């Protein structure tokens, strides 16, 4: 809800949208339907925008997953594009979140799909909190996207027609500040932490898939569980070979705090890395009597998870 209101806490830095998309592509590939083809057309030498990297990753992931789900298990294409466009005030007035944004150069992130498209009645509601066309779902994905864009003083253009697919174009003001993104040979994106098995526990399939892809890239074997009860069963049969548990805080049936206690009964010294959309202080209030190895806040990107995993494995246990 903080994201929807545009009052989330951002860490702003100059970013190149094309580079952000390039790094996210491997994770996006494993998050969409196998029947969907993911294409990209990324502008070279794109000017920077000022943005929070984690929030940009969330915008990109939400838009791509929504596009995949719009295929309704049919074959289709998603295309991610980046570029720069000069926006007049008239153009911006036709976008969501025109709050007297000035005319000028904007960089854009565009996600186009060949899915079912939307009626006008649906299109005007898509950013409403808790609105969803899915049988199950929280309906917060696009509301969060809207809030993130609001917080970055950007805008969103949506073009959709029933039977002809949908295009989301997210616009961010160009900045003259320098590039802060560097992918060096020793960057986390090209490093491996080690080997062994990590148990990922999360009730969201998308999160499990994302974490699995990241952890495999780090060199780990991954086993997963969709809730606390399944996690306990998986852990009981694999306790000797699991190096670390990546544990979600909020889950149905058996939450993270209850699951942690059960895992500790099986193997007291197991390293447990808590994952939550709450900040670290709020999340740890649930674990006042339990020992955590570390914390990573959702939504996390590869570098953030890499650093959290490395710190957890390096930490000396009492």
Contact 68, 78 (CB under 8 A): yes
* Structural domain of 285: 188-314
Residue 224 and residue 269 share a domain: yes
Domain end marker among 175, 201, 226 = 175
- Say which residue, 217 or 40, is predicted with more confidence: 40
pLDDT tens digit string along 271-300?
A: 999 988 766 666 666 665 556 788 888 777
Q: What percent of the chain has pLDDT over 90?
A: 32
Q: What is the mean pLDDT of the chain?
A: 81
Report the predicted TM-score, pTM, of the whole model to 2 decimal places: 0.57
Q: What's the pLDDT at 122?
A: 74
Would you list the DSSP string of 129-171?
TT---SSS----HHHHHHHHHHHTT-EEEEEE-TTS-EEEEEE
239 in a domain, yes or no? yes
Domain end marker among 175, 206, 231 = 175
> At which residue do the structure tokens 């003001």 appear?
173
Residue 8 pLDDT greater than 60, yes or no: no
Residue 194 pLDDT greater than 50, yes or no: yes
Residue 141 and residue 20 share a domain: yes
Across residues 178-189, what is the average pLDDT? 43
Considering only 8-17, 67-76, 211-220, which range has the smallest mean pLDDT?
8-17
**Residue 34's CB: how many other CB atoms inside 10 A?**
9
182 in a domain, yes or no? no
Q: How confident is the model at residue 94 (pLDDT cuts 50, 70, 90)?
A: confident
Across residues 188-207, what is the average pLDDT? 78
Domain count, the chain: 2
Residue 135 pLDDT greater than 50, yes or no: no
Residue 48 pLDDT greater than 60, yes or no: yes
112 in a domain, yes or no? yes
What is the CATH number for 294? 3.40.50.2300
What is the CATH number for 70? 3.30.565.10
């Amino acid at each position: 809800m903080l994201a929807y209101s545009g009052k989330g806490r951002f860490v702003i830095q100059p970013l190149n949208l094309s580079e952000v998309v390039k790094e996210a592509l491997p994770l996006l590939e494993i998050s969409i339907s196998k029947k969907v083809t993911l294409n990209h057309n990324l502008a070279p030498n794109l000017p920077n925008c000022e943005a929070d990297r984690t929030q940009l990753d969330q915008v990109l992931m939400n838009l791509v997953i929504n596009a995949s789900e719009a295929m309704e298990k049919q074959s289709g294409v998603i295309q991610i594009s980046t570029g720069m466009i000069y926006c007049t005030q008239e153009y911006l007035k036709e976008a969501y979140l025109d709050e007297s944004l000035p005319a000028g150069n904007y960089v854009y992130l565009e996600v186009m799909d060949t899915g079912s498209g939307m009626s006008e009645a649906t299109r005007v509601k898509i950013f409403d909190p808790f609105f969803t066309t899915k049988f199950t779902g929280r309906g917060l994905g696009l509301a969060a996207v809207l809030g993130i864009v609001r917080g970055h003083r950007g805008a969103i253009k949506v073009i959709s027609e029933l039977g002809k697919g949908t295009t989301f174009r997210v616009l961010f003001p160009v900045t003259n500040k320098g590039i802060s993104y560097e992918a060096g040979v020793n960057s986390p994106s090209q490093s491996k932490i080690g080997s062994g098995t990590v148990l990922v526990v999360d009730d969201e399939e998308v999160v499990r898939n994302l974490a699995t892809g990241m952890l495999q890239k780090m060199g780990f074997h991954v086993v997963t569980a969709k809730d606390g009860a399944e996690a306990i069963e998986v852990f009981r049969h694999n306790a000797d070979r699991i190096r670390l548990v990546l544990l979600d805080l909020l889950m149905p049936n058996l939450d993270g705090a209850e699951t942690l206690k059960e895992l500790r009964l099986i193997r007291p010294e197991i390293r447990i890395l808590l994952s939550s959309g709450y900040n670290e202080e709020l999340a740890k209030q649930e674990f006042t009597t339990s020992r955590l190895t570390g914390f990573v806040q959702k939504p996390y990107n590869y570098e953030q998870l890499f650093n959290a995993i490395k710190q957890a494995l390096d930490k000396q246990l009492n």
